[in-house]
Each structure stands twice: as C-alpha cells, then as structure tokens.
Amino acid sequence: MTLENLNLGELSAQEQLEIDGGGKSFWEKTVWGYAASQIIDNWEEVKSSWRQGWADGGNH
C-alpha cells in the first residue's frame, strides 16, 4: 500500500515543524527555559565571558 492509494502525501519540512510545535520544546518556550537553552547552547562563550569578567574585576 502506498501513500497515493490512501490519497495522502508526504509532509514538507515546514509542516513537520508546525506539527512538532515549531521545533521548540515546551521548556524552551518559557522565559527561564529559553534563557537556560541559550546558556547551554553557548556555554563556551558564557564561560569565557565569566572568566574575563572575574579577571577584570580584580584590576579595579
């Protein structure tokens, strides 16, 4: 049995994202979840910034 026999077609990538909630989980849609996901996704940059801030804080 094929999709055509059932009068169905494949979903596009955009349709799949819409069905899955736009590609974001419930957690990522909340303010705290969004902030946490950004920190996790950019951890190396965040860590580097904290280290630089800590080092600069001792020079004032």
CB-CB neighbours of 54 under 10 Å: 9
pLDDT, tens digit, 9 for 90 and up, residues 11-27 = 787 777 777 666 666 66
pLDDT score for 23: 60
DSSP 43: H
Q: What CA–CA distance (Å, rounded) separates 57 from 47? A: 15
- Asked whether 27 and 33 are in contact (CB, 8 A), the reply is yes
pLDDT, tens digit, 9 for 90 and up, residues 18-60 = 776 666 666 667 888 888 888 999 999 999 998 888 888 766 5
What is the model's pTM?
0.43
